[in-house]
Every structure is written in C-alpha cells, then in structure tokens.
Amino acid sequence: MGEMVKQIAALQDYERYQDLHWEGSFEEYLQIVRERPQVTRNAFQRLYDMVISYGEEEYIDNKKKLIRYPFFKDPIENGKDAIYGLDIPLMRLVHVLHAAAQGYGPEKRIILLHGPVGSSKSTIARLLKKGLERYSKTQEGALYTYEWTNLHATGLAGGDDTFPCPMHDEPLRLIPPEWRDHAIQELRLGDDRRRVNVPGELNPACRFIFRNLLERYDGDWSKVMSNHINVKRLILSEQDRIGIGTFQPKDEKNQDSTELTGDINYRKIAEYGSDSDPRAFNFDGEFNIANRGIVEFVEVLKLDVAFLYDLLGATQEHKIKPKKFAQTDVDEVIIGHTNEAEYRKLINNEFMEALRDRTIKIDIPYITKLNEEIKIYQKDFSAERLRGKHVAPHTLEVAAMWAVLTRLEEPKKHQLALLQKMKLYDGKILPGYTQDNVKELRKEANREGLDGMSPRYVQDKISNSLVREGNEGYINPFMVLNELEKGLSASLTVGEDQRKRYGELISVVKSEYDEMVKNEVQRAISADEDAIGRLCGNYIDNIRAYLMKQKVKNKYTGKDEEPDERLMRSIEEKIDITDARKDDFRREIMNFIGHLALEGKKFTYETNDRLRRALEMKLFEDQKDSIKLSSFVSNVIDKETQDKIDIIKNRLIKYYGYNEASATDVLAYVASIFARGDVRE
C-alpha cells in the first residue's frame, strides 16, 4: 500500500464503519430490542425524537411562551439550511409530529406546508430528510432490517443465495401477527417509557419466501429464523433511496402511479415464470423506498387525481396497492408542500374533499421580523463568500427592511405608520405602545406574511448589484434599492397595484436610511472621548452651581460667573427636555451622581445613557461647523478640514464596518444632506 493511500486510510473510523454495518442473527436482534426498545420506533416517533435530540429552548415573546428547536438552525451543515424567523410555524409542526408519535391521530394525515413561494417550505422538508438520515447513523437513532440467506438450495431467490427485504421492513414483522403481541410481552421487549408495538404484515415478496420456507420446515418457525434470517443495521439515505423518498409531479403523459408503488420487472418474469410472482416486482416506488422514513411530495396539489388514491391510502390506512398484489403496509411520514394558488384550487374543488379531510395544513409565511430577515442575507452574502467584494453597512438591512414592509398589512390604527409597525414587530419600544398592542396588531392582520416579495427576489437583486460594472469593488444601500425598484417592472409575480405600493416603500426605506446614516456619522464625529469628557465636566459644574445657587469659576479668567444657562439648555434640548422640566432633569443627574458615589463608583458621561446621547449630539453640532462637512461636496478642502474628515473616516472604518471607498461616499452623502439644510434636530 502506498504512503499516500495509508494517510487517507488513517482518516477512516473503522470501528464506526463496523458498527454501522452490523449484522447478526434474529436472536441477537431480540437482545438488542430488549436493551434498546427504541430501535423498533415507527417513522413518526423516530422523526420527532430526531428533532428533539438537538434540544429545546423556551423563551417569552409578547408575553407568550414559545419553544425554539435548534435543529432548524441546521447544526448538521453549520447553518447551510438554517430557518430564520419562523419559530411559531416550526413549533406547530413539531407539535403535530409529537401528537403523531403518540398515536393521537396526525399519523394518519398528510402534513401540508402551505405558504408563498420562497418561504422555506422546501428547506424545512430538506432539513427533516437530512436530519433523519444523520440520525439513523447514531446509536440513539439506530434501526434494523433483514435479508433472507441460504436460499440457493431452495431456489426461492433464483440463482442468488440472498434476497434483501425490498422494503426494509422491521425484523419483528417476521413474528406472525397472531402471536406477535404475546411474544413481545413474554420476552419483556420494551417498558412503560418505550413500548414495542409493531403492526403490519410482511411485504409481498418476503411473505412469499416466508410462506414457502415455513412449508419446507413443516411449520417450524424457529428453523426459518435460525437458518435463513440475517438482521442488519439500516442506514437511511436519500442518495441510495433507502428510507427517504422525494416525488415531484411531471408531465402527465410521462408519469404514472407505478412511480409511487413500484412496477413489474419484466426481466425477472422469465426467471420466475409469472408477472404475479412478487419476486418479479420492483418495489422501488417512492412509497416503497421511503418505508421506515419520510417521503416528500413537491408541489403535492399538482398531482393528477390518479395519484391521490395511492396518497390517501398511504396516509389514512398506512397501506399501498402495488400492481397485481394485495395491499402492502408502509410506515412513513408523508410531508407535502404547496403554494397559495394551488391551495386555493384545493379548497374550491369539491372532488378533493377526501384529501382536505386527511390534511393537516401548517402555514409557512414570509418572515415579518426585520432582524430575522437580515440573517438570511448575511448567510448568503457573508465576507467569506464574496471574494473581496465589500458590502457597505446597512446594505443588507435596508434590503431586508423593504422585503418585510411589502409583507405587512397597513395598521388599522391610523396614527401608526407601517415603518413603526415593523419596528414594533422587531422588538423595538415605541412611546405609547406595549406588547399587548403588538399582539393586537398581529391578530388583526389575517394574511400578514402570506403576501409580499420573497427573499429570492431580494437575493437576486443583491447579486445583480454585486456583479454590475462600475461599483468599484463594493455595494451600498442605494445600489441595492435601485436594483429592487428597477426589477419590479419586470417581475412576473407583481401586479400593477402592488408595483406602485412597493415602489412607494422604496422611498420609505430610503428616508429611514437617511436617518440611520446621519446618526452614524453624528456618532463618528462626536466620538472624541476627551472632548465629550470636557463637555460633560463643564455641564456638571454648571448644573451643580445652578442647583446650589452658586457661581462657577471661569478657568481662563479666574473670575466667578453665573451658571451658563445657554450651555445647559443647548445640551438638554437635544433630548427634548423642556424648559419646564429642566430643573427636574438637573436634580435627576445630581442625584444619580450622588447615588454612584455612595456605592463607591465614579461618574463618567457613559454611565447615564440619556446624558451621553445629549452630549454626543451637542458635540456633533459644535464640530459639524468647524469640520465644514458641507465643503466635502466641493472640490476644494483645506488641509485642516481634510485631516478632521480623515479622522472621522477612520472611525467609520474602524468602528462601523466601512471600507475606504464606502466611508468616503457615505460622508459625501451625509454632507450633501447637511448642505441642503436637512439637519435632524
């Protein structure tokens, strides 16, 4: 063996490989069941346990206790298929799985994920399939099947010596149903926490072999088990079509129900002599191969009516009808997804009543929380994936803001703007509104999140901005907003009324961005800690003298002077302290300083948030004129001003995430706002 091959071989966990490919006798399997009865779980129980195995997190939202399931953050692939902002729909889904696992009824239903395009329905189904596949490789998620061996002399497998169970049945199904429950009880398989319950018959092919072997041994079941059964570990795999199936509607002329329930193997007919011999049948339909696991129906409501009969049987009775054979037991979770238009057709079609009655619908809406929507774009447009391209601060935020606004319904309270509603949903605190108001807003909006623009549209427009020429290696909010607006006219999913409304929301977002970026530049300008400290000390000296009816010594002239009322008011007005309330505020600050002193703590401008904000805004007003930001829009800037601007620019780069080009542009933009006199008081 070559050295490089040895190095690669050393990476293999051979013990784990052996564990995953365990084989043993039926007797050994019974011992496994006695020690770990969970290996016999049905598909719903296994799927629910898989989700819960990643933990549960309780939290309070709008006074309501909710549960978040870390599994849906995709820990398997480090967040590749993570779901954001859908805690409530996902909680409802897991509750359905839990009830089905307990056998309370949902196990006889189709789980239908319903929502607009791009709302993560397919991703949820993909996550469940991926999680189940990974879970089957763990000790906690282990499950087993069997194969028939030593058949060469019997001729039951043609020229082969082994015959694998084509539907990967649970080995305990080999115990005849008449005495299966009694055998389980006698052998003490299971306990109060995990009962062993294995309903159903063998599939037609295994039933045929079992019956013939039983006749061969004059009805001695133990000899059949000892001589011809080999139990083995079952690893679910979508790629290998074991325990995980996916069905997608196609052209009716090129698709029939055999894709669900299997078809005759015409080559085997010559070997076995009849097309009604189950060994000459391919049990490779999606229902067959998904046995013991999960089957996903993509756009399930687009199925032809002929397929629905098989779907209904597999759902309600847990049985399918392969061509020319008796009904066959299946054990699988059936999950489908559909969009709004197809669901409306289902509701209006009286011939679909049986399907409606066997369906549990779970709405999967668009995200209506801004911070959760931002996470989608941060995942897709992270620095690692952009290969040197820079995304200016707030770019993804404004794109997410626009997307969320398109999904919200106008508040019925006329004094509340849509932008304010979005902030309330995002957990922000607005004067005059409580958590009860947020609950009320959500209740009155029946279709919120079911309409609006999908994340895919936004992702496409961000991508367009990134590859558009002339962007000088970075994109900013205006580039993305312009792409979003231009794309509306070409969108196939947006009507004329929507196009107008969504265009108006672009303007709302631009105005909000103006405020965000002005505040950011204000903070960068007033980030001189020494200057703020001096201003704070001056303010404290003056209010102390004012309250104690004393004078203040001028540090430069040495003379005692009256407290500087103009200075005090210029700071207090920045945080809307009225003239009538100025004395209360000044006493509040002095009491705060005294309280800190009693605790042995030192007062700084940062210890009181309101005062800090007032000082920053005051310093900004003072320095704005000395820096002459308005001159930034001209071509002539003196060296002193340029040095000050460079300091601000470096602060934007260091503390706020800009690069050289985006910092230069954002300063120029804010300067143009101030040049127009558009200064926020």
Pairing state between β 474-475 and 390-391: parallel
Residue 681: predicted pLDDT: 39
pLDDT of residue 492: 66
pLDDT at residue number 97: 97
- Note whether 116 and 450 are within 8 A (CB): yes
pLDDT of residue 258: 86
- Taking residue 628's Cβ as centre, other Cβ atoms within 10 Å add up to 17
Helix (H, G, I), strand (E, B) or coil at 232: strand
Task: For residue 561, give the nearest of 546, 572, 583, 571 by alpha carbon.
Answer: 546
Residue 680 has pLDDT above 60, yes or no: no
Longest CA span, the chain? 121
Q: How far is CA 334 from CA 104, 125, 183, 342, in A?
A: 16, 10, 31, 18
Lay out the sheet containing 110-114: strands in order across.
244-247, 294-297, 333-338, 110-114, 359-363
Whether the CA torsion 494, 499, 501, 505 is positive or negative: it is positive
What local confidence, expressed as pLDDT, does residue 671 receive?
Answer: 78
Closest CA to 367 of 358, 376, 359: 376
> Tokens 């706002």 — which residue?
673
Do 522 and 629 form a contact (C-beta atoms < 8 A)?
no
- Mean pLDDT taken over the chain: 88
Q: Are strands 163-164 and 319-320 parallel, antiparallel or unpaired?
A: unpaired
pLDDT score for 678? 47
Query: Is the confidence at residue 253, as pLDDT, over 90?
Result: no
The string of pLDDT tens digits covering residues 49-88 is: 999 999 999 988 877 889 999 999 999 999 999 999 999 9
Q: What is the pTM of this model?
A: 0.85
What pLDDT shows up at residue 408? 95
**Top-confidence range, 21-30, 55-64, 311-320, 460-469:** 21-30
Mean pLDDT of 203-222: 96
Window from 157-166, 247-256, 364-373 with minimum mean pLDDT: 247-256
Q: Map residue 164 onto helix, strand or coil.
A: strand
Q: Residues, the chain, total?
A: 681
By mean pLDDT, which of 396-400, 481-485, 551-555 is the weakest? Answer: 551-555
**Whole-angstrom Cα distance, residue 515 to residue 521?**
10
pLDDT at 207 over 60: yes
The share of the chain scoring above pLDDT 90, in percent, equals 55
% of the chain exceeding 70 in pLDDT: 94
Mean per-residue pLDDT, 179-204: 91
The 10 Å CB-count burial string (b at 16+, else e) for 440-479 is bbbeebeebbbebbbbebbbebbebbbeeeeeeebbbbbb
Among the listed ranges 247-261, 382-396, 408-422, 474-488, which one has the minimum average pLDDT value? Answer: 247-261
Classify each residue of 665-678 as buried b or exposed e, where b means 16 or more C-beta atoms within 10 Å of its C-beta.
bbbebbbebbeeee
Instruction: Tell me what the mean pLDDT of segment 513-534 comes to.
Output: 82
pLDDT class of 354 with cuts at 50, 70, 90:
confident
Which two tokens mark 324?
């020319």
Which of the residue ranges 89-103, 189-203, 604-618, 646-660 has the most confident prediction, judged by mean pLDDT? 89-103
Instruction: Round to whole Å and give the CA distance between 151 and 27.
Output: 20
pLDDT value of position 485: 92
Question: Nearest 5 degrees, angle CA 506-CA 613-CA 570?
Answer: 105
User: In angstroms, what CA-CA distances link 386 with 244, 296, 309, 660, 662?
Assistant: 34, 33, 48, 17, 16
- Residue 679 clears pLDDT 50, i.e. is over it: no
The alpha-carbon radius of gyration of the chain (Å, integer) is: 35
